[in-house]
Structure 1
Amino acid sequence: MKTMIPNALTLARFLLAPIVAWLMWKGFSIPHFAEYGPNAMNNSPETIAAAEALGTKYQLWAAILFVVAALTDLFDGMAARAWNAHSKFGRILDPIADKALVGLPLLTYVGMHRYFQGEFNYLILIPVLIIVGRDIFITILRLFAPDGEGAPVSNLAKYKTALELVAVAMPIFMQLPWIPASSALYWSWVIILCVAALLSAITGLGYLTASPTSKPKD
């Protein structure tokens, strides 16, 4: 019974990840198609304004649910430690949920840029592929590792996780109309994303080179 709350929080995070990604896509695509789609010439200013308002609602819900999902990552760990409520289900699903919450929104952003701009932004694509590729590879290794939960999380891995969450949150919040658009904000996000990718690569190499009994959790 004690494992139910931590596992429920982990499951909620896993389920919220694709919802956040879908809301991001809808929040951007609805106003875009209203203004630039094949039938845009037939849309009145009122129709475009309504589409922009609807898109804002989707983006706002994406931001809210992302924050909620990120908080579940904090609270499920606290609950599991407080009640000593560790389970095999949680050990398997927790890293998958973490990676989904980071990877799906980032891939959605890359996909939106490719779909709506007609080309990839390689400055964003490369660090995203590093983060997502590393996470998939390491998660698969951990699922089949014989050492169970592994050693405590390293400080570098904690910094990586924090930066990844910021790197996901920023483009979601930057789409909200009351967040002033600026090149400084955009380049700050790019730098954070690239640093997160660098830390992701470093911690991934650290996992691969660690001894079987001392592999860090991540």
Structure 2
Amino acid sequence: MTAAKPVPLLNAANVLTVARMVLVPVFVLCVVASRMTHDAWQIAAGLIFVVASATDYVDGWIARAHNLVTSFGKVADPIADKALTGAALVLLSIYDRLPWWVTLVILIREWGVTALRFWVLRHGVIAASRGGKVKTALQILGIGWYLAPLPAAFAAVGPWIMFAAVAVTVVTGLDYVARAIRIRRASLSTAGGAPHPAPAEAPAVAPQADEPVA
């Protein structure tokens, strides 16, 4: 039997992931330069945020379609995703565009789900849900809406989008907690109290693409 060909570290999926990480400080600089009052810088920040968010979907698709999942991608992809979203939320709160409680709820949920994944990693993988994908889409739409220098009538829609994002974020977060507990209990029950050993490499179809939309 022919051994599986190793996946090169330098591949299209990882390049896009690194590009997203590089765009995070550029995005931050644009927001700071705009002070959320300078339209040109706000537009630049919004475009960077949208482009960087889009690479999250593209690199996941490339990794799945061409079997380019690597250990680096599994770690760097969710970090880049959460760094981008987290930076945007914190900056919007700093400039009084978004209540701090919204930022804290979303960030606690995002990093909490990541911690849950590591907690149950020895017992199984928590697959991404449809609700997680909806949550991600609403967060991106909401943040993009707040970043754009819109007329007051259109800007008033932003809080409703973000409210929907927060609601789905909380609901899916609770769902992940319940699923993590079930996976851990089922694993311990099946093994008679001993967890199953974690595989050396997770399936190529899941981690890099699914983690950001949890």
Instruction: Indicate whether the TM-score tops 0.5.
Output: yes
User: Shorter-chain TM-score: what band?
Assistant: 0.7 to 0.9
- Aligned partner of 1:8 in structure 2 is 15
CA contact (8 A) 2:135 2:169 kept: yes
- Aligned partner of 2:60 in structure 1 is 77
Distance 1:189 1:56, change over 3 A: closer
What is the SS of the residue equivalent to 2:156?
helix
The alpha carbon displacement at 1:61 in A equals: 2.1
Structure 2 counterpart of 1:168, which letter?
Answer: I
CA deviations over 1:7-64 (Å, ceiling 9, x no partner) = 12112212322321221121127x6xxxxxxxxxxxxxxxxxxxxxxx4442232122
Query: How far apart are the structure 1 equivalents of 2:117 and 2:156?
Result: 34
TM-score, length-scaled by structure 1: 0.72
Distance 1:107 1:195, change over 3 A: same
- Aligned partner of 2:35 in structure 1 is 28
- Aligned partner of 2:77 in structure 1 is 94
TM-score, length-scaled by structure 2: 0.73
The alpha carbon displacement at 1:202 in A equals: 1.1
Residue number among 150, 159, 162 corresponding to 1:190 in the alignment: 159
Query: How far apart are the structure 2 equivalents of 1:125 and 1:168?
Result: 14
- Aligned partner of 1:204 in structure 2 is 173
Query: How far apart are the structure 1 equivalents of 2:122 and 2:16?
Result: 24
Identity of aligned residues (%): 30
What is the SS of the residue equivalent to 1:84?
coil
Deviates more, 1:161-170 or 1:97-106: 97-106
Gaps of at least 5 residues in structure 1 are 32-54, 114-120
Query: How far apart are the structure 2 equivalents of 1:96 and 1:144?
Result: 17
Structure 1 counterpart of 2:146, which letter?
Answer: P
Distance 1:198 1:18, change over 3 A: farther
Query: How far apart are the structure 1 equivalents of 2:123 and 2:13?
Result: 18
Residue number among 137, 148, 163 corresponding to 1:162 in the alignment: 137
Gaps of at least 5 residues in structure 2 are 1-7, 187-209
Query: How far apart are the structure 1 equivalents of 2:70 and 2:119?
Result: 16
What is the SS of the residue equivalent to 1:212?
helix
- Aligned partner of 2:86 in structure 1 is 103
CA deviations over 1:90-114 (Å, ceiling 9, x no partner) = 111212212222121111011012x
- Which structure carries more helix by proportion? 1
In the alignment of these two chains, the number of paired residues is 179
CA deviations over 1:82-141 (Å, ceiling 9, x no partner) = 11111121111212212222121111011012xxxxxxx7x7222221111111222233
